[in-house]
Amino acid sequence: MLRKEFKKAKNLGGVKVAEDTGVTRFRSLLIYRATVEEDRKKLWNNKEAWRSLNVVNGPDLIDKVLKAGEKKAIIDKIDEISGYNDETDEIIKNSSVQKER
């Protein structure tokens, strides 16, 4: 859902082509939305932190305080909790191969 909202398209001669969505921003938004509301208020929507780090919203704060590797680790955990992982890819791939036969 978030990927669909975040995806932009440009028109090239009557053909819509996906533009770069900015992986860094997408990851920050994913972490922001995956954080439960109570924690989001304390962490990412902390106005005092916004002022001290000169940001205007939660996803911007995430960009300021988390390193790329930390974001990746969080995204990996979100995927795991959501039931999406490399094993899921293999299961889906193998089941589609069997259906084709």
Mean per-residue pLDDT for 41-63?
Answer: 96
pLDDT tens digits, residue range 6-22? 555 566 666 655 555 57
| Angle between helical axes of 68-81 and 23-34 (0-180°, round to 10) | 50
Predicted local distance difference test score (pLDDT) of residue 7: 54
Q: Torsion angle, CA of 74/29/68/79, rounded to 10 degrees?
A: 30
pLDDT tens digits, residue range 70-100? 999 999 999 999 887 666 556 555 665 555 5
Question: Residue 2 pLDDT more than 70?
Answer: no
